C-alpha cells in the first residue's frame, strides 16, 4: 500500500548526537515531523521511522503487533548508536511507551528520554472485552487529531483496528512491568486536557521509573497530540535544552551539534 502523504519516515544526517523519535498508535511520523526538523536544524542526527502497519490504511495494522512496532524502533536505535556518540529517545503517546522500553532494555546506550503524553494503559470497560470483541468487530472509532489548535490535523487512521488495540494493551502491561529498570534522565511533558491518554498514565510512569533526574512539564494549552498543538514550541525547546545539558561537549555554542 502507498504511504499516506505526509506520513513518510524522516531521516537527517547531522553530528555526533542522535535522536530517535517514536510516533503514536494509529498515527504517523507527520505528528513528529516539526519536532524532528527542529532538532535537525540544530545539527543533530535524527531518525523518525514509520511503524509497521501505520501510515497506509487501518486494515494493514490488523496484521501487526507490538512486537513489530518495537522491533522497528529497536533497529533504528541500534543504527543511531553505531553512528553517534550519544543517543536520546523521544516519543508521543504509544511512542512514549516504546521510548520507555528502549530505555529499560538498552541502559547506557540511551543517554536520556523525553516523553509527551505517554500511554501506560488501555482504559475503559471495553479494554477488558478486547480479547473477545476483536474477533467479532474489526475496528472502532479513531483517536487521531486530538488537538486544541484550530486548523491543525494529524495524519492518522479514522478507525482503531481492534486486533492491534489488543496487542497495544498487552504491550502496555509489558512496559509497565519494566518501568523500574528505567534509570535515564527524563523530561515528561503532559497535557491536563487529554482526550486519549488520561493524566493518570503520566503519574504512574513518574511513580514507577527509577530515574532521579526528572523534569515534569504541564502543557496547559494542548490536547493529546501536543507536538502539533499550541505547546509544540515548548516541547521542542525543552528537548533541545535537555540534550545540550546532558551532552554539552558534543553540541556547539552556535546551536549545532559537532562532528562529521
Q: Do the Cβ atoms of 88 and 19 come closer than 8 Å? A: yes
User: In this structure, what C-alpha cell is assigned to residue 77?
Assistant: 536505535
**Annotated catalytic residue, options 28, 139, 194, 230:** 194
Distance CA 9, CA 76 (A): 11
User: In this structure, what C-alpha cell is assigned to residue 51?
Assistant: 511503524
Instruction: Please give the angle made by the CA atoms of 26, 32 and 35, to the nearest 5 degrees.
Output: 170
Q: Catalytic: 201?
A: no
User: In this structure, what C-alpha cell is assigned to residue 163?
Assistant: 486486533
User: In this structure, what C-alpha cell is assigned to residue 10?
Assistant: 524522516
Instruction: Please give the order of strands across the beta sheet that includes 17-22.
Output: 10-12, 45-48, 17-22, 86-92, 112-116, 186-190, 214-218
DSSP 88-123: EEEEETHHHHHHHHHHHHHGGG--EEEEES------
Does residue 25 have a known ligand-binding role?
Answer: yes
Distance CA 224, CA 29 (A): 15
Q: Catalytic: 230?
A: no
Does residue 32 have a known ligand-binding role?
Answer: no
**Annotated catalytic residue, options 93, 111, 139, 239:** 93
Q: Catalytic: 139?
A: no
**Annotated catalytic residue, options 224, 229, 230, 239:** 224
Question: Crossing angle, helix 66-83 and helix 162-178, to 10 degrees?
Answer: 50
- Burial of residue 210, with CB atoms counted within 10 A of its CB: 0-12 exposed, 13-18 middle, 19 or more buried: exposed
Catalytic sites, residue numbers: 93, 194, 224
Q: Which residues are annotated as a binding site?
A: 25, 94
- Which parts are annotated binding residues for substrate? 25, 94
Amino acid at each position: 500500500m502507498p504511504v499516506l502523504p505526509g506520513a513518510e519516515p524522516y531521516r537527517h544526517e547531522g553530528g555526533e548526537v542522535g535522536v530517535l523519535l517514536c510516533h503514536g498508535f494509529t498515527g504517523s511520523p507527520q505528528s513528529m515531523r516539526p519536532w524532528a526538523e527542529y532538532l535537525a536544524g540544530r545539527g543533530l542526527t535524527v531518525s523518525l521511522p514509520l511503524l509497521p502497519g501505520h501510515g497506509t490504511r487501518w486494515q494493514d495494522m490488523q496484521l501487526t503487533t507490538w512486537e513489530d512496532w518495537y522491533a522497528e524502533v529497536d533497529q533504528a536505535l541500534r543504527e543511531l548508536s553505531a553512528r553517534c556518540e550519544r543517543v536520546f529517545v523521544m516519543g508521543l503517546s504509544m511512542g512514549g511507551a516504546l521510548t520507555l522500553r528502549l530505555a529499560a532494555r538498552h541502559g547506557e546506550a540511551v543517554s536520556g528520554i523525553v516523553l509527551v503524553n505517554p500511554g501506560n494503559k488501555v482504559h475503559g470497560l471495553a479494554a477488558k472485552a478486547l480479547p473477545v470483541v476483536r474477533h467479532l468487530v474489526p475496528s472502532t472509532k479513531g483517536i487521531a487529531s486530538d488537538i486544541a489548535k484550530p486548523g491543525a490535523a494529524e495524519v492518522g487512521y479514522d478507525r482503531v483496528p481492534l486486533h492491534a488495540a489488543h496487542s497495544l494493551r498487552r504491550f502496555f502491561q509489558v512496559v509497565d512491568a519494566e518501568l523500574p529498570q528505567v534509570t535515564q534522565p527524563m523530561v515528561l511533558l503532559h497535557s491536563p486536557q487529554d482526550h486519549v491518554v488520561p493524566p493518570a498514565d503520566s503519574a504512574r510512569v513518574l511513580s514507577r521509573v527509577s530515574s532521579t533526574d526528572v523534569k515534569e512539564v504541564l502543557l496547559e494549552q494542548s490536547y493529546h497530540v501536543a507536538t502539533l498543538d499550541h505547546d509544540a514550541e515548548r516541547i521542542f525547546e525543552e528537548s533541545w535544552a535537555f540534550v545540550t545539558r546532558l551532552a554539552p561537549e558534543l553540541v556547539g555554542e552556535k546551536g549545532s551539534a559537532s562532528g562529521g
